[in-house]
Amino acid sequence: HLLMELIAEDGRLASAEVVEINPIIDERNRTAQLAAGLLTSLMGKTIL
């Protein structure tokens, strides 16, 4: 998350894309939750 927060802080990111999340093989929605968390960090949410 730290890297995503630093990228968000920089302010120069124009776009981002999440690919290859397959809900059929995602155990207990872990991959989707990680992707969502990383994207929120990329948008500026800080994780303490």
- How is 3-48 classified by DSSP, letter by letter? HHHHHHHH------------TTT-GGGHHHHHHHHHHHHHTTPPP-
pLDDT of amino acid 11: 92
Q: Model-level pTM?
A: 0.77
Query: Domain coordinates of the chain in residue numbers?
Result: 2-42
Q: What is the pLDDT of residues 1-46, one digit of tens each?
A: 999 999 999 999 999 988 888 888 989 999 989 999 999 999 999 8
Instruction: Please report the pLDDT score of residue 21 as a whole number.
Output: 81
Q: What is the pLDDT of residue 22?
A: 86
Residue 48 confidence (pLDDT) above 80: no
